[in-house]
Amino acid sequence: MKFKFTYIILLVSFFVINVVNAQVPKLFLVDANKVLKIKKDAFSNDAIKKNVLQLTKNADKLIDKHFGSVMDKKNPPPCGNMHEYMSLAPYFWPDPSKPDGKPYIRKDGERNPERKVIPDDQNFDELMAAIHELSWAYYFSENEKYAVKATQLIRMWFLDTSTMMLPNLNHAQIISGVDTGRGIGVIDAHELPKVIDGIGLLRLSKSWTKQDEEGITKWFNQYLNWLLTSKNGVVEPYK
């Protein structure tokens, strides 16, 4: 009984020390100081404890899940490079009056299931959501397994030369028979800010390395340059 009590005291002490020494992460979508306060309050607030528990349960489901890369599509994008992201415009369909259906015509509000044939869009969405979930689970639980998985996903999509997506959206939201990608395709990456905040949380982890930091900084610098200088990047207004 004495051993059990001592063990509990050690666990509580460890938790308190970690909370006191917790660093304020660099975040953009939320107030990092408020986030730190919530983490500290989790020690005594049952509602927060319950939310953290649910967060880790959700993240546990992602640990062994396989996530696809841009290399999974069966056909290359118009440029021929499989590392470039590609997706089809969701509301454009084959023209029934044309033998080959091209150029595609717009049907407002009707999503063409053909878009799912190219998995880049779905793979990207699932990956960004997973990095978001895992990084927050790591921050609140300090369980390194969540940081390990999140870091693996970032490396796979952004850094590993065998699977990485090149930092552009040249071929996003293609209208068959009309173009090879559109400016509005930038919307396909609308969850990227969550990845950036996820990286801010992962910087507190031993899984995140100097090489990871340098690599992801280079990727986002190149993506920013593409947004500011490319045809598709410039044509899309930023609001």
Question: Could you list the residue range(s) of the whole structural domain that residue 187 is in?
Answer: 24-235
Residue ranges in the chain assigned as alpha helix (H): 2-20, 32-41, 46-60, 120-141, 144-154, 192-202, 210-229, 231-235
In this prediction, residue 22 carries a pLDDT of 57
This model's pTM is above 0.85: yes
> How far is 239 from 237, CA to CA, in rounded Å?
6
The answer to whether position 113 is within a domain reads yes
Count of domains observed in the chain = 1
1 found inside a domain: no
Domain annotation covers residue 8:
no
Query: pLDDT under 50 in the chain at which residues?
Result: 1-21, 239
Q: Assess if residue 75 is contained within a domain.
A: yes
Q: Is residue 88 part of a domain?
A: yes
pLDDT of amino acid 235 = 87
Helix axes 120-141, 192-202, angle to 10 degrees: 30
Residue 12 in domain: no
The domain that contains 46 carries what CATH number?
Answer: 1.50.10.100
User: Is 178 a domain residue?
Assistant: yes
Name the token pair of 109.
């509000």
CA dihedral 117, 119, 122, 127 (to 10 degrees): 170
pLDDT single digits (tens) 57-111: 999 999 999 999 999 999 999 999 999 999 999 999 999 999 999 999 999 999 9
d(CA 102, CA 127) in angstroms, rounded, equals 32
Q: How many residues does the chain have?
A: 239
Q: Is residue 13 part of a domain?
A: no
